C-alpha cells in the first residue's frame, strides 16, 4: 500500500487543485441541512427491505487488486503517485454519482475511502449516506497460500472502529476451492461463524459473510454445488449452534457454476437449479439476503446468472459485483487520459440499471453493447409507460 504520507499528499493535491483543467468538475452532491447517519437498525432494515432490490457496489479493492483492475481495464498507471491520484479520483466519481441510490442500496468500501474528502470539508462516506446508500466496511485480509481469512484476532476492535464512524455493516471474506482438504474447508466455514459471533457480541454491526468459491478450478457443476452446500451448510449450522442466528447477517457468495478449468460450459438454468438445491440442503433461512459476486464471470454471464437466480428466490437475492460493475465506468472515466466524471458517472448508472433489469427479468446480453446514454434514456422512457 502507498505510504501514508504519499496518500495524504495526493489527497491534498487532489482537493486543493480545484480539480484543475485535468478533469471534468465533480457533479455536485445535494447539501442537507444536517447529515444524519443511519443507525444500526435503519441500516439493517434498509438492506432487508422486501420492496427494494438489493445491489451492493463492491468498490473495496485492495491496492494490488486495484492496480490489477486498472491494468485489465487498459488504464495506464505511471508510478505510485499516479495510482494514488487515479484511485482517489475514481472512488470520488463513484461516491458522488448523483443517481447511485437509484440502483445500489449499499457500497462496500476500502478503509482508504474514510480519509477521502469530497466538498466543503465533508468526507466521501457522507456522500453515500446523504443518498441513502449504506456504507459497508471491509475487514480481514486473505492468506495467499491457503485463501483463508487473516486478522481475525483484531476483528472485534476493527468492528468497534467502524461503528464509531457510524458504519454498521461489515463485509468479511474467506475462500475455498476444489481440492481443499476437509480441515481447511472446516476452517473456512468456521471463520465466517466467528465473524458472526463477533458481530453479535458487538451488537451494533451486521456482517456480510462472503465465502467465495474459487472459479479457477476443474470442478464441474455437480462437484461445485456439493462443495458450496458443504461450506454454506456448516456456516448456517455453526451460527445456529453458537446462538447468534437471531443477530442480523447477510450472505455474499459465488454463483454455482462449473470451474473455469473444467471444460464444462456455464448453463444459467442448471446453475439456478443448483442454487435452489444449495439453499434447501444447506438449510439457509428463507429470510436471509443472499447477494452474488461476479467472481471472474463476464458482465453478461453475471447478469444472466443473476436473472435466473432471481426467478428462484426473488425477494432475498441481489448482486454485489465488482469488476462486472466497474469496468465500463473506469474505461469511460479515463478514456481520454484525464478523468471525466460525467462519463464515468453515466456509465455506473447504466451498469446499475442493467442489474435491476436482470432482477426484473428484462435483461438481454445485447444490452451490454448499448451506450450508457442511450440505455438510460430508453429505460427512463419505458418507466413512463
Q: Which residue has the higher pLDDT, 385 or 49?
A: 49
Strand runs labelled E in the chain: 54-59, 106-109, 134-138, 141-142, 149-150, 169-176, 206-213, 249-253, 290-292, 317-319
- Which of these ranges, 1-10, 178-187, 205-214, 275-284, has the smallest mean pLDDT? 1-10
Q: What is the pLDDT of residue 315?
A: 63
The residue count of the chain comes to: 385
| 3-class SS of residue 317 | strand
The answer to the question of residue 4 being in a domain is: no
Q: 312 pLDDT band (50/70/90 cuts)?
A: confident
Does residue 143 have a pLDDT over 70? yes
Does residue 96 have a pLDDT over 80? yes
Q: What is the pLDDT of residue 226?
A: 97
Does residue 1 have a pLDDT over 90? no
| 3-class SS of residue 377 | helix
Range 333-355 average pLDDT:
96
> Phi and psi at residue 88, in whole multiples of 5°?
-65, -40
The answer to the question of residue 347 being in a domain is: yes
CB neighbours of residue 263 within 10 Å = 9
Cell 427491505 belongs to 49
Give the up-direction half-sphere exposure of residue 361: CA atoms within 13 A in the CB hemisphere.
7
Q: Which set of grid coordinates corresponds to residue 198? A: 463477533
Residue 30 CB contacts under 8 Å (≥ 6 apart), including other chains: 130
Q: 35 pLDDT band (50/70/90 cuts)?
A: low
| 3-class SS of residue 348 | helix
How far is Cα 307 from Cα 315, in angstroms, rounded to an integer?
12
> Please, what is the angle between helix 63-72 and helix 80-95, to 10°?
90
Compute the 3-state secondary structure of the chain and give helix, strand, coil in percent, each to the nearest 5. 50, 10, 35
Count of domains for the chain: 1
The answer to the question of residue 18 being in a domain is: no
Q: What is the pLDDT of residue 316?
A: 79
Q: What is the pLDDT of residue 252?
A: 98
The answer to the question of residue 7 being in a domain is: no
C-alpha to C-alpha distances, 78 to 84, 311, 323, 328, nearest whole angstrom: 10, 45, 22, 21
Does residue 9 have a pLDDT over 70? no
Does residue 340 have a pLDDT over 50? yes
The answer to the question of residue 15 being in a domain is: no
Q: 106 pLDDT band (50/70/90 cuts)?
A: very high
Residue 381 CB contacts under 8 Å (≥ 6 apart), including other chains: none
Task: Output the domain CATH number for residue 349.
Answer: 3.20.20.70
How far is Cα 150 from Cα 111, in angstroms, rounded to an integer?
16
- Which of these ranges, 21-30, 128-137, 190-199, has the smallest mean pLDDT? 21-30
Q: State the residue range of the domain holding 295.
A: 39-384
Model confidence, pTM: 0.89
State how beta strands 290-292 and 149-150 pair: unpaired
The CA R_g of the chain, rounded to the nearest whole Å, is 20
The answer to the question of residue 63 being in a domain is: yes
State how beta strands 141-142 and 149-150 pair: antiparallel
Amino acid at each position: 500500500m502507498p505510504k501514508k504520507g504519499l496518500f495524504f499528499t495526493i489527497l491534498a493535491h487532489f482537493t486543493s487543485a480545484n480539480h484543475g483543467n485535468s478533469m471534468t468538475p465533480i457533479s455536485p452532491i445535494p447539501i442537507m441541512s444536517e447529515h444524519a447517519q443511519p443507525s444500526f437498525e435503519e441500516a439493517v432494515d434498509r438492506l432487508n427491505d422486501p420492496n427494494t432490490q438489493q445491489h451492493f457496489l463492491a468498490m473495496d479493492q485492495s491496492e494490488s487488486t486495484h492496480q490489477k483492475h486498472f491494468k485489465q481495464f487498459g488504464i495506464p498507471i505511471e508510478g505510485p503517485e499516479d495510482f494514488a491520484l487515479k484511485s482517489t479520483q475514481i472512488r470520488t466519481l463513484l461516491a458522488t454519482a448523483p443517481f447511485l441510490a437509484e440502483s445500489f442500496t449499499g457500497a462496500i468500501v476500502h478503509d482508504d475511502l474514510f480519509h477521502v474528502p469530497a466538498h466543503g470539508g465533508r468526507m466521501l462516506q457522507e456522500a453515500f449516506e446523504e443518498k441513502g446508500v449504506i456504507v459497508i466496511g471491509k475487514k480481514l485480509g486473505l492468506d495467499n497460500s491457503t485463501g483463508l481469512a487473516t486478522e481475525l484476532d483484531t476483528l472485534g476492535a476493527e468492528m468497534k472502529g467502524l461503528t464509531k464512524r457510524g458504519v454498521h455493516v461489515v463485509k468479511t471474506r474467506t475462500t475455498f476451492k476444489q481440492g481443499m482438504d476437509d480441515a481447511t474447508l472446516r476452517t473456512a466455514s468456521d471463520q465466517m461463524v466467528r465473524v458472526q459471533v463477533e458481530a453479535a457480541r458487538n451488537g451494533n454491526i451486521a456482517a456480510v459473510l462472503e465465502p467465495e468459491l474459487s472459479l479457477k478450478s476443474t470442478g464441474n457443476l455437480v462437484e461445485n454445488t456439493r462443495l458450496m452446500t458443504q461450506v454454506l451448510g456448516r456456516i448456517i449450522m455453526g451460527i445456529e449452534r453458537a446462538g447468534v442466528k437471531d443477530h442480523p447477517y447477510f450472505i455474499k457468495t459465488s454463483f454455482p457454476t462449473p470451474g473455469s478449468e473444467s471444460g464444462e460450459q456455464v448453463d444459467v438454468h442448471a446453475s439456478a437449479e443448483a442454487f435452489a438445491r444449495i439453499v434447501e440442503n444447506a438449510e439457509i433461512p428463507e429470510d436471509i439476503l443472499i447477494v452474488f459476486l461476479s467472481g471472474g464471470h463476464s458482465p453478461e454471464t453475471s447478469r444472466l446468472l443473476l436473472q435466473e437466480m432471481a426467478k428462484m428466490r426473488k425477494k432475498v437475492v441481489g448482486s454485489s459485483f465488482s469488476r462486472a460493475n466497474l469496468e465500463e465506468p473506469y474505461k469511460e472515466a479515463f478514456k481520454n487520459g484525464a478523468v471525466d466524471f460525467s462519463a464515468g458517472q453515466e456509465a455506473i448508472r447504466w451498469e446499475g440499471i442493467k442489474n435491476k433489469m436482470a432482477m426484473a427479468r428484462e435483461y438481454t446480453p445485447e444490452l451490454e453493447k448499448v451506450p450508457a446514454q442511450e440505455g438510460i434514456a430508453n429505460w427512463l422512457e419505458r418507466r413512463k409507460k
